[in-house]
Amino acid sequence: TIVVVGSLNMDLVVRAPRHPQPGETVIGSDFQTFPGGKGANQAVAAARLGARVHLVGRVGVDAFGHTLLATAQEHGVDTTFVQRDPTAPTGVALITIDSHGQNTIVVAPGANMQVTEADVLRAESVLATADMLLMQLECPLEVVIAAARLAHHHGVPVVLNPAPARPLPVDLLALVDFLIPNQLELQALAEGEADLRTAIRYLQQRGARNVVVTLAEAGAVLAEADQIIHEPAFEVPVVDTVAAGDAFVAAFCVASASGKSPQEAVRWGNAAGALAVTREGAQPSLPAYREVLRLLKV
C-alpha cells in the first residue's frame, strides 16, 4: 500500500495563436479539461502500476471536485481520505498553449491549501501499515512535515518529489528517505547550484539522505551516501513529456514498496517515464504494470 498526501487540480487548457498582453483579449480554441494535480497524478500512476493507493487531500464542493474524485476512483485510487471542503473551490490550473507549444500556467490551489495535519491523522491507521508515504509540495508545507513525521514514527519510508521547488527545512530533509527532484528542482533546492554533484552534496550536507535526480532524456542518477549511480533513459519516440516525472516517481515507489533495490527502482522509474513521453496528456499517458515490465525486459 502506498499513501499519497497531495494535490488534486483540474487542468483547464486552451490553445491560442499567441499569449495575450496585459489588458488584451486573444481568441483561443480547443478548450479542454484534464484531471491533474501532482498528488492525484502520482496516485493514479501508482494505481495503474498495480499498487494499492490511498490519496489524502481536499477538493471543493463543486463539479470539478466531483469529477476529480470520480476519475481517481475509476483508476483504482482509494479516495476515502479526500475531503470535500465547503470553504474553498477545487484547485485549478489555467493553462494557455501558444502556436509554438509554449505554455503559461496559473495555478489557484484552492482546497489543496486547506489540507491539515488532522486530515493526515484521520488516515493514520492506513499510513501506519503502509509500505510508503509519497508527497509533493502542492499542499501546505507544515502538513508535509507532519505527515513525514507520522510516517517516520511508524517506520514507513517517505518519498518526497519536491515540486514545485521551494527551500526545504533541514528537519524535513532528515525525515525523507528518498528525495526525487528533476534537474531544475534540484538547482532550486540547492540555492541555484547548477552542477549536479555539487547540488546533491549541498543537500546531503543539509541532512538529505538518498537523492534521485531525474534527467529527462538522460535518465536519472541515484545518490546514496557518497556513491552516485547513473541509470540511462530508455530510448523512445517523444510525443509529449507531460507527466514523465509523475510516472517516474510513482514507478520508483511501487518498485521500492515491492522490495526492489533503489537502483532497480530507478530503472522502473526510467521505464515508466519513457512510456509516459510516448503518449499525450497527463493521466491518460500513464503506463500500466505490464508495459513497464515489457520495456524493462528489452
Q: Which residues make up the interface to ligand ADP (CB under 6 A)?
A: 182, 214-217, 219-220, 233-234, 236, 238, 241, 244-245, 248, 269-270, 273-274, 277
When the beta carbons of 217 and 291 are compared against ligand ADP, the nearer one is 217
Q: Which residues contact 34 (CB under 8 A, 6 or more apart)?
A: 10, 11, 13, 281, 282, 283
When the beta carbons of 34 and 234 are compared against ligand ADP, the nearer one is 234
CA–CA distance, 285 with 272 (Å, rounded to integer): 10
When the beta carbons of 55 and 212 are compared against ligand ADP, the nearer one is 212
End-to-end CA distance of the chain: 28
Q: Is 177 flagged in the annotation as binding?
A: no
When the beta carbons of 174 and 238 are compared against ligand ADP, the nearer one is 238
62 is catalytic: no
Q: Is 14 flagged in the annotation as binding?
A: no
CB of 244 to ligand ADP, least distance (A): 4
Q: Is 242 flagged in the annotation as binding?
A: yes
Catalytic residue among 85, 119, 177, 246: 246
Q: Work out whether strand 210-214 and strand 220-224 pair parallel, antiparallel, or are unpaired.
A: antiparallel
CB of 77 to ligand ADP, least distance (A): 20
Q: Which residues contact 200 (CB under 8 A, 6 or more apart)?
A: 186, 190, 211, 213, 221, 223, 228
Enumerate the β-bridge partners of residue 222.
212, 229
Q: Is 279 flagged in the annotation as binding?
A: yes
145's grid cell:
512535515
When the beta carbons of 80 and 102 are compared against ligand ADP, the nearer one is 102
With 0-12 CB in 10 A as exposed, 13-18 as middle and 19+ as buried, what is 183?
middle
CB of 41 to ligand ADP, least distance (A): 11
Q: Is the dihedral of CA 285, 289, 293, 296 positive or negative?
A: positive
Q: Is 182 flagged in the annotation as binding?
A: yes
Q: Is 281 flagged in the annotation as binding?
A: yes
At 92, is the secondary structure helix, strand, or coil?
strand
Q: In this structure, which amino acid lies at residue 39?
A: G
CB of 160 to ligand ADP, least distance (A): 13
Whose grid coordinates read 489588458?
A: 23
CA–CA distance, 240 with 238 (Å, rounded to integer): 6
CB of 187 to ligand ADP, least distance (A): 12
Query: Between vectors from CA 102 to CA 101 and to CA 104, what angle results, nearest 5°?
Result: 130
Q: Is 119 flagged in the annotation as binding?
A: no
Detail the residues annotated as belonging to a binding site for ATP: 182, 245-246, 270
Detail the residues annotated as belonging to a binding site: 9-11, 37-41, 138, 182, 240, 242, 245-246, 270, 276, 279, 281, 285
Q: Which residues are catalytic?
A: 246
